[in-house]
Amino acid sequence: MKGHIKEGMSVIDFGCGPGYFTMEIARMLNNSGKVIAADLQDGMLDIVRNKINGSGFENIIELHKCGEDNTGINEKADFVFAFYVVHEVPNHDNFFNEIYSLLNAVGKFYIVEPNFHVSKSEFEEMINKLKSFRFEIIDRPKIFFSRAVLVGKTGNV
């Protein structure tokens, strides 16, 4: 993630959970840009709300509750980060199509999945599906106990 997120960007932290990465992304943006902390669970968003209260990041972090079958986000983003969450999404076709439409022309989508839960073949299947939605592989970062891929829109990588 580091090196890909720059000041002024709009970033979606999809499946933000308790906001660990949300806060780090906000630091990387250096109070110039926006983080949309998106999660399905109200409890997780409440934890993030408590973390950002008084942190100085209230002006750049927006909390967003996702729907059961879509993100419900209507804004374009420069970067979407999904840590240990894509395997939980019930319909990858709909999800990848929605993420593609949310990204601006040169936007990037970074997926990290747990290798103890998502097999190598399942992850490769996910990558092939991403390719079918006009995503192109930029990098396959090595992350401890994880499988990761950074993709961008085809033709803009």
Residues with Cβ < 8 Å from 34, sequence gap 6 or more?
9, 10, 11, 60, 61, 62
- DSSP of 57-84, one letter per residue? -TTTEEEEEPPSSS----S-EEEEEEES
pLDDT in 10s for each residue of the chain, 157 residues: 678 899 999 999 999 999 999 999 999 999 899 999 999 999 999 999 999 999 999 999 999 999 988 899 999 999 999 999 999 999 999 999 999 999 999 999 999 999 999 999 999 999 999 999 999 999 999 999 999 999 999 866 5
The maximal CA–CA distance of the chain, rounded, in angstroms, is: 44
Number of H helices, E strands in the chain: 4, 7
Domains and CATH numbers, the chain: 1-112 (3.40.50.150)
Report the predicted TM-score, pTM, of the whole model to 2 decimal places.
Answer: 0.94
Residues with Cβ < 8 Å from 65, sequence gap 6 or more?
38, 39, 40, 42, 45, 72
CB 98 within 8 A of CB 71: yes
Query: Which residues, in sequence order, are bridge partners of residue 29?
Result: none
